[in-house]
Amino acid sequence: MCLAIPACVEEIVSEDCAIVNLSGIRREVSLALMENVEIGDYVIVHVGFALQKIDPLEAQQTLAMFAKMQNEDDPFADN
């Protein structure tokens, strides 16, 4: 549900319009639902609209949480 993809803002075309890039795929998106978007921000794109920025710090922390598990767990235990 609600297919939405994080993509990097590459160019701000106008107040309500930006070009985002996802691994080389470039698309126009509307910024009408966003505030204070800057080039380099990652935004979640849904039906051509940016919905929310990705917080890079939080993302990093989540990934760190996943990584932490590696330590808690015996890598050979589940095989």
Partner 1 sequence: MKYIDEFRDGTLAKKIASAIKNEVNPNRRYQLMEFCGGHTHAISRYGIPDLLPGNVRMIHGPGCPVCVLPVGRIENAIRLAQQPGVILCSYGDMLRVPTDHGMSLLKIKAQGADVRMVYSSTDAVRIAQENPQHQVVFFAIGFETTTPPTAIAIKQAQAMGLNNFTVFCNHVLTPPAISHILQSPEVRQLGWVPLDGFIGPAHVSTIIGSHPYDYFAEEFQKPVVIAGFEPLDVMQAILMLIQQINQGRADVENEFTRAVTREGNLKAQYLVAEVFELRRVFEWRGLGWVPYSALRIKAAFADFDAEKRFQIPALSIADHKACECGAILRGIKQPQDCKIFGTVCTPDNPVGSCMVSSEGACAAHYSYGRFRQTA
Partner 2 sequence: MKSTGKSVIAGNAAYVRPIDFKKGRVEMGHGGGGRMTMQLIDTLFLTAFDNDILRQMNDQACFSVPAGRMVMSTDSHVVSPLFFPGGDIGSLSVNGTINDVAMSGARPHYLSASFILEEGFPLSDLKRIVESMAKAAHSAGVPIITGDTKVVEKGKGDGVFITTTGVGSVPDGIHISSELARPGDKILLSGTLGDHGIAILSLRENLTFHTSVQSDTAALHELVASMIQAVPAIHVLRDPTRGGLATALNEIARQSGVGIKLREDKLPIHEQVRAACEFLGFDPLYVANEGKLIAICEPELADKLLQTMRASPLGRDAAIIGEVIADPHCFVQMETIFGGQRVVDWLSGEQLPRIC
**Main-chain dihedrals φ then ψ at residue 77, nearest 5 degrees:** -65, -35
Nearer CB in complex with partner 2: 36/76: 76
The reply on whether position 24 binds partner 2 by CB under 8 A is yes
Interacting residue with partner 2 among 13, 32, 47, 59 (CB under 8 A): 47
Give the integer Cα–Cα distance in Å for 44 and 33.
11
Partner whose footprint covers residue 45, from partner 1, partner 2, none (CB < 5 to 8 Å by kind): partner 2
Helix, strand, coil share of the chain (percent; to 5)? 20, 40, 40
What's at 41, amino acid-wise?
D
Token digits of residue 17: 């319009």
Token digits of residue 28: 């126009």
The reply on whether position 23 binds partner 2 by CB under 8 A is yes
Nearer CB in complex with partner 2: 23/70: 23
Q: Which residue ranges make up the site for partner 2 (CB under 8 A)?
A: 1-3, 5, 22-28, 45-47
